[in-house]
Amino acid sequence: MIHFRIFTISLLALCLILSEGHRGCCLVNVWQPPSPNITHLLAVGDKQSLMVRWLVYHCDLVGHINEVQISRTENHIITYAENVSVPADVTEYTWTWTSDLPLECVDHSVRIRQYCNQSVLSPWSSWTTNPGVQTEDKTKAFPSERVLREGASAMFCCVSPPGVNIIEMRIYDKAYPLISFGPRVTAIAVDKLTIPTTYIKMLILQFSDTKGRHGNVGNYVSFPPQKLRNLTCMTLDMINIICSWDTSRKRYKWDRSNQTQTLRIENTNQAPISCQELSCTFPAIPHLEEYNVRVVVQNQFGEETETHSFNISDRVSPVVDWARLSPQVTDATVSWTVQGNVTQLNLLCQVTTEPHSITELWCNSRCTVKLEHLLPNTQYFARVRCSTNGRVWGKWTEPRFFKTGLLVTLNLWRKIKQLSDPHSREITLLWTSDVPDFAKNQQYRVQWWQEGNNGTQGKDIGQTQMEVCIGPGQYTFMVQAVLLSGHSIPANITIPKMDNRVKVVEKQLSSHTVGGFNLTWAQQVSATCGYTVEWCIESSAHSCDLQWKKMPEGNNTLILPDRHFKDGHRYTFNIYECTKDGHKLLEIQSGYSQELQTVQSPSLIEPVQSTYSSVTLEWRYNEADPTHPAFIVGYLVTVQDTLPGPNANMLSVLVSDPQKKSVTIKDLEENHEYKLSLSALTNKGPGQAATVVIWTKIKFSAHLAKILTPIFLLLGCISLLWPQRKKG
């Protein structure tokens, strides 16, 4: 201004000097730049801002100053003024001013003038006005339904109809001093707005007027975005990436601030991604391993930003889907799949059973594990989680509950019968089970395998054996009870290859006074799975109720009490060693729990051969007949003199070889009658006897002398008397 006045005075002085040499008066025209042209005035109500735009007149190359004035009310009371520096290269300039009073309350006008060469002022532009609200019937209050910043100061106004005055304005039931902005506008100023803690989560302005009318309006209070904390990113499936973060203060659910969250992958040209309040999900970029991301959270009060870098392969948190859970008696098979494109990654998975422990395994996207050493008839639950590196774990699955089956075991054995076809055998599988009455099985399932061939067959309840024809090769059979609550522990047995060259040791068992059997056999190194002893309850050619007892490895003794056996019945025990190739016959032991004495008598062969001093006795007897009530250990022959009286003699002869069927008894009396008795002999004594009566023969010379002596005497007498007959 001073420079402009000096410049003007200098021009007037120069004009006076020049005018002395001329007639008339010197008229000086002072140059002024044109006033700015306001092209646009926009009220931004939510921000209580006026945005002004005007055309710039450039009078030099270095820019200039524009003076802006803001006035309120129709009287243009200046509220605000500012000198605005405008760059030299700008032809249209935009300037924004924020009002402490809502723009709806009163008229707000703008005018501009500019300096040229920092000294010459342009005229003021005309006032450009943003009108306030007018009302003719009821009072209106501002701001209304707006989001205000927590901790800031704010002004609230009421615009009343003509002739009506506001007499009270309250917030939180507190009355504030009234500020007048003309005859129809009343306002209050409130410092440090706070978020309401009442059940009504709005800041309520209450007002009353001179006509006794009351009203209210509500506004929301919010706060700027909080600093982002713990920004981290992960992927569940290598297809989508999830970034999440936290803040020191969460937004209220009734918060109406215009908050936005965006994420940008800064090492790509991807467009910004719109996010949720505390997380962001976006597709993984093919073949991109390293990610540099920036998260920006902003609302009308400000913004916060945070960056994070990571390698996607290190941030995989796999999601597990249950596939199958099959409980057995002491184990359970668990299967699951992992979502997404993780087949190229090695997965370390954990399976936990409660109450139990954790099982770990490496697998691919499809995994199966058997949980072992579980307790029968017990409730468990299982959960699974997986990781690609053992550091970042996926979430545990929801628990899956299961119950192990009843402890039902099968005792499986077999009988092998050679058929007429030398290359075929008939196998009879026999089994017993301990299924309780309350858990009866539905059926038995039989499976078998032989060099890649297999078969399956079901047997109904009550059927505990099955016949199968097989060839000469090795077969494996498995029998399992199918229960309503699951399956029993499977029982397996291997049928060895056909081999007719096996030599078997046979033994006879000695009876004990206490009865029963005490079986012992030689230990075998090849018996890697123990031994099996089999026998028949009824020992006959046509009946055999097969029994068997399995012994663990290292145990070569079996004691069987007598209550399971009948006295006088021969039992044969086949002892098998169990090997990886099946059961092989090791020994055959036969015996009686208690032997009986009443064995049948032998059959004598007649006529009996004898001499004057001996008798040869021969007989028939099947000493190996299994129906005998005892083992035949020999024969007993008794020779009794039939003459009565004290001089009667008895002789006993023992035949100790049960296979010998003849004996010669010597030193008998000539021409004598004897009674011979023959009995089969057992450890209990002789059995029933076969008897025969014989006469020994007479010696020939003595007998002949007795006969010839009288004859010779008679012939001698005749020869002496015969001559005398002729003489007479």
pLDDT at 24: 38
Among the ranges given (11-25, 205-219, 544-558, 664-678), the one the predictor scored with the smallest mean pLDDT: 11-25
Please indicate, yes or no, whether residues 302 and 291 belong to a single structural domain of this protein: yes
Please tell me whether residues 580 and 614 are part of one structural domain: no
Structural domain of 4:
1-30
Are 624 and 661 in a shared domain?
Answer: yes
Under the banding of pLDDT at 50, 70 and 90, the label for residue 11 is very low
* pLDDT of 19: 38
Going by pLDDT thresholds of 50, 70 and 90, the confidence category of residue 700 is low
Same domain, 619 and 688: yes
| Per-residue CA distances from 141 to 100, 167, 208, 280 (Å) | 15, 14, 11, 40
For residues 113 and 153, membership in a common domain is answered with no
Domain presence at residue 520:
yes
Who wins on pLDDT, 305 or 12? 305
Using the predicted structure, report yes or no on whether residue 316 has a pLDDT greater than 70: yes
Q: Establish if 722 belongs to a structural domain.
A: no
Domain boundary among 96, 130, 164: 130
The answer to whether residues 283 and 238 touch, using CB atoms and an 8 Å cutoff, is no
CA distances (Å), origin 632, targets 423, 571, 595, 597, 660 = 38, 15, 10, 10, 11
Q: Which long-range contacts (CB under 8 A, 24 or more apart) does 351-355 make?
A: 351/382, 351/383, 351/384, 352/382, 352/383, 352/384, 352/396, 353/380, 353/381, 353/382, 354/380, 354/381, 354/399, 355/380
| Cα separation values, 557 from 305, 377, 521, 554, 573, Å | 83, 33, 7, 9, 13
Is residue 298 located within the same domain as residue 233? yes
Helix (H) or strand (E) holding 711: helix 700-727
566 within some domain:
yes
DSSP string, 321-347: EEEEEEE-SS-EEEEEEE-SS-TTSPE
Domain-located, residue 597: no
Eight-class DSSP state of 232:
E
557 beta partners = 520
Among candidate residues 130, 158, 184, the one where a domain is terminated: 130
Of residues 601 and 449, more confidently modeled: 601
Same domain, 51 and 106: yes
- For the residues 642-648, what does the mean pLDDT come to? 67
Q: Is 230 left (phi over 0), alpha (psi -120 to 50) or beta?
A: left
pLDDT tens digits for range 16-60: 333 344 333 334 446 777 888 999 999 987 889 999 999 988 776
Task: State the average pLDDT over residues 450-457.
Answer: 70
Examine the domain organization and report whether 568 and 516 are in the same domain: yes
Q: Answer with the one of 222, 249, 273 that is the final residue of a domain.
A: 222
Provide the residue type at 684 as one letter. K
Confidence of residue 242 (pLDDT cuts 50, 70, 90): very high
In a domain, 709, yes or no: no
Are residues 387 and 427 located together in one domain of the fold? no
- Residue 185's nearest CA partner among 146, 159, 219, 207 is 159
Structure-block tokens of residue 576: 């098998």
- Single-letter code of the amino acid located at 341: N
Q: What CATH number should be reported for the domain holding residue 394? A: 2.60.40.10
Shared domain check, 109 and 60:
yes
In a domain, 652, yes or no: yes
Mean pLDDT, range 177-206, rounded to an integer: 90
Q: How many domains does the chain have?
A: 8
147: in domain: yes
Residues 420-439 have pLDDT tens digits of: 888 889 999 998 887 665 55
Q: Which amino acid is at 316?
A: V
Q: What span, in angstroms and rounded, lies between the C-alpha atoms of 48 and 187?
A: 15
Model's pTM, two decimal places? 0.53
Q: Which two tokens stand for residue 357?
A: 């422990």
Query: Residue 719 domain-assigned?
Result: no
Task: Write out pLDDT tens, residues 332-390.
Answer: 999 999 888 777 778 899 999 887 678 898 988 789 999 988 888 889 999 999 988 78
pLDDT of residue 668 exceeding 70: yes
* Judgement on whether residues 58 and 15 belong to the same structural domain of the protein: no
In angstroms, what is the C-alpha Rg of the chain? 63
Mean pLDDT across 641-647: 70
DSSP 642: -
What pLDDT shows up at residue 644? 67
Q: Per-residue confidence at 680, pLDDT binned at 50, 70, 90? A: very high
| Confidence (pLDDT) at 198 | 79
**pLDDT on residue 504:** 86
Judge whether residue 281 has pLDDT over 50: yes
Residues 383-410, mean pLDDT to the nearest whole number: 87
Q: What is the pLDDT of residue 21?
A: 40
Q: Tell me the pLDDT tens digit for each residue of 562-575.
A: 888 888 888 999 99
Q: How far apart are CA 590 and CA 506, in angstroms?
A: 8
> What residues contact 555, with CB distance under 8 A and at least 6 apart?
530, 531
Alpha-carbon span 403 to 678, nearest angstrom? 72
Percentage of the chain beyond pLDDT 90 is 49
User: Quick one: 572 and 629 in the same domain?
Assistant: no
Q: Residue 169, Cα to own-chain centre: how many angstroms? A: 67
Residue-averaged pLDDT of the chain = 85
Count of beta carbons in the 10 Å neighbourhood of residue 413? 21
Give the tokens for residue 310.
């990571």
* Closest C-alpha to 459, from 412, 497, 426: 412
What is the side-by-side strand order in the sheet with 425-433?
Answer: 410-418, 425-433, 465-470
